[in-house]
Every structure is written in C-alpha cells, then in structure tokens.
Amino acid sequence: MQLSSFAISIAIANIALVSADASNYWKAFTSQIDPKNITVPSIPATTSLNPTTECTYYNPDESLIVINATEWPSIWDVATSNNMDTSPEFLALYDSLDWANAPNISVRKLTSDGGLDFTGYDSSADPDCWWSASVCVHPKLADVSADIINCPEPETWGLTYDDGPNCSHNAFYDYLQEKKLTASMFYIGSNVLDWPYGAMRGVLDGHHIASHTWSHHYTTTLTNKEVLAEFYYTQKAIKLATGLTPRYWRPPYGDIDDRVRWIATQLGLTAVIWNLDTDDWAAGVTTTIEAVKQTYDDYVEMGTNGTFATSGNIVLTHEINNNTMDLAIDYLPKILSAYKQVIDVATCYNISYPYFEDIEWTNVLNASTAAAAASSVASSSVAASGSSSASAAAGTVTAAGAQINQSATSGASQLLPSALFTLVLAAVALL
Ligand SMILES: [Zn+2]
C-alpha cells in the first residue's frame, strides 16, 4: 500500500515536470543505427588524418542514414528555418506543451556587436537565474531541472568537449581512444547532420553524447518556439546518426535562464554547465595560445594543490578546431597525472540512463572503458529520472566550485559574440 502511494506520488511529480504527451516525443524518431553495434563506414573522411580529406563532404550510406533535406532546418540557421516551425511533427510537440505554465520571462536582445544586451536587467538580484548575468545555476523557478556544474568526486576532472562532431577530429579521437578516455561530447545538431559518421564514432568510442543545440545561438535570445525547435531537431539528428536520444545538453556560451530551463525540462533535458573554463576556443582567435596554456597550467595545478580536495570539476573545452584539439592532446597527460580521475559527466555522476532509450550507460558502448571508469566512482547510482536530484546534489557540493566559476569563466558570452562564433565555425568547416 505504501509502495503504491509512493509510486503514485512519483508519477504525479513526473507529470508536473513533463506533460504526458510531450514526454514521449523521442519515440517518434527513427534511426537505422544500433548504438550497441556500430560500424563506422571506412571512407577517406573517417580514416584519414589529413584535415582536408577528413572534411570532404560525403553522402552517408543509405542503409545507415537517410537525410531528406525537407525534414530538417537549414544548417547553422535557427531551427525554425526551412519551415520547420510549421511541420506537423513539430506543431504536435509544440501544441502538447502546457505553455500557460511557461514562465513569463522576456526574450533577451543582442547588442549591435552580437553580444548579450543586459540593459534593464537586475543582474545582482537575477530574478530569472540567467547564467550570463550572474553565473546563476540554481533555478529560481520550481519544477525545472537544476544545472549540473561539477563532478561530485574529489580530485576529479570532468572531461567535456563542445561543438563537435568536428570533421577533422580523427587524430584527437584516436588519442582519446589510446588513452582509454571517455568524454561528454556536446554535439551541435548542424554538425551531426553534416558529419554523421563523426557522431557515430563518438558513440562507438564510448563517449557520452549530449546536445549543444542546432545552430549555436544564445538560447535566451530565441523565442519559445525557436528554443523548442533547437532542442527538438538536435535530438532528432543525434538519434538518426547514433540511435540514441540524449537527456543532457549544454547551452552555447552557458547562456541559459529559467525560461530556457523550463522548455528543456519539458523535453526531459538537463543542462550541464562547468566550473572551469579554459577559453581554449580563443587560442589564436582573440588571445594567444600561450595565454590559454597558462590557464591549462593553472587548472592542472588545481589537481594537486587542494582546490578539489572535497569535490571535482567540470571543464569547458572544445573540439572546435585543430588548436583546441592539439591543446587537449598536449595537456591530457598532465591532467591525468594531476587528477585521480579524468572522466565523462555520465560516469562522474553515475547516471545510469543518459539517453531516453532503455540502455544502461555501461552497456551502450565499448563498455570496457566506461565500465572501468564507473567502477572507480563511489557515488550512489543516479537514475535518469533522478536528474533533478542529481543536479541538486551538485549544488550542495561546491561553494568553492561556484567561486571558481565566477572568476574562471569571465563571461565567455561577452568574449565571443555569436557572429564571431559563426565565423569561427565557418572557418573550421572550410579546413
Ligand atoms: Zn559551443
């Protein structure tokens, strides 16, 4: 009797978070890929170590992946483009959400140079828990998933790479494989559709795949419909290429507020932020490689100087270009020496189900690497449905982490306006 009322209260709690129709949206996605049995086709783009060859477009084998352009937003454009905001599947999802419950928070504006406009916003009170305004990671709105910001285990480096799959990542992924390292890979939907074999390899290599939106805009500047489309079509693309639908995502530039969190929560998505930012994307763009190396050196030192004696970090790094991937290869040996563990977010949080599909994390893959890493993590298991409580746990872990975050992130959003970011991504695509 007690058990049934407990089950009912859990069910009610779930309904409060996600309306019944919306929670099954992922079941309509199609994929010909079995994530537990992936073979990446052997073509020059997947086997070469020459960036030009790697980044030569290919048509995916239709027995694996069929891309019909009429079913997708335009690459790198907001995900409502190409009439995707009026597609029956998107409208069905949109109409299934209880928008009357959505928070009444303004859509943010951009300044003329492409940065976020904070005019008129009370950043010190930060009523909307807008990360870009105050590095807020503890939502002020009820019934939204709180952000994950660090790995709870002491002296642990949470390994994450954003903006992939980068077409020229073969040597970098080879290196991670050689070191038996798995990372959380935050993939951009446009990149997944352009380079689906790169995403397949991410799963094959045992990495934890998560979403990084369709077109890498500041999400707080997008309308509710645009934010929903950015999430929806990225989920659909990752499913198409890998057979998996992520439960985790990372906002570009960390730009999230309670309105965006509410929409993400309707789709069962929890945000993963960070508490250390290498600014590696800026190396050779807006700062020197030496400056980024100094940041890396500082973070390596934190592994042995007591900074993470009681809890670990999650570090923001990128597979955005060959500079960032070379820096990663340079520094991973030092990071491995300085920290007790270097692991992906699913492993460090002991998340049993990082995807919607009924496949346990340690069984998704190439499980030898992930299982070995998971066995060295002592924290209690966190089931997928417990992502909110997992996030809450992270919140209690790090007063210190939050301080580090304040000083270390120094507003990547201000440093990298979206227009510049698009240019960087375009340059990478041309490599
Ligand atoms: Zn990014």
Question: pTM of the entire structure?
Answer: 0.84
Q: Looking at the domain covering 25-430, what would its CATH class be?
A: alpha beta
Active site residue 318: yes
Ligand 1 centre from 148 Cα, in Å? Answer: 17
Ligand 1 centre from 163 Cα, in Å? Answer: 5
Ligand 1 centre from 16 Cα, in Å? Answer: 30
Kindly give the confidence (pLDDT) of every residue in the chain, 431 residues in length, as a single tens digit, with 9 standing for 90 and above: 343 443 434 443 444 444 446 789 999 999 999 999 999 999 999 999 999 999 999 999 999 999 999 999 999 999 999 999 999 999 999 999 999 999 999 999 999 999 999 999 999 999 999 999 999 999 999 999 999 999 999 999 999 999 999 999 999 999 999 999 999 999 999 999 999 999 999 999 999 999 999 999 999 999 999 999 999 999 999 999 999 999 999 999 999 999 999 999 999 999 999 999 999 999 999 999 999 999 999 999 999 999 999 999 999 999 999 999 999 999 999 999 999 999 999 999 999 999 999 999 987 655 444 444 444 443 333 333 333 333 333 332 222 333 233 333 333 333 344 545 444 454 444 44
Three-state SS sequence of the chain: CHHHHHHHHHHHHHHHHCCCCHHHHHHHCCCCCCCCCCCCCCCHHHHCCCHHHHCCCCCCCCCCCCCCHHHCCCCCCCCCCCCHHHCHHHHHHHHHCCHHHCCCCCCCEECCCCCEECCCCCCCCCCCCCHHHHCCCCCCCCCCCCCECCCCCCCEEEEEEEEECCCCCHHHHHHHHHCCCCCEEEECHHHHHHCHHHHHHHHHCCCEEEECCCCCCCHHHCCHHHHHHHHHHHHHHHHHHHCCCECEECCHHHCCCHHHHHHHHHCCCEEECCCEECCHHHECCCECHHHHHHHHHHHHHCCCCCCCCCCCEEEEEECCCHHHHHHHHHHHHHHHHHCCEEECHHHHCCECCCECCCCCHHHCCCHHHHHHHHHCCCCCCECHHHHHHHHHHHHHHCHHHHHHHHHHHCCHHHHCCHHHHHHHHHHHHHC
Q: What residue segments make up the domains of the chain, in order of their start?
A: 25-430
**Which of these is catalytic: 126, 147, 162, 344?**
162
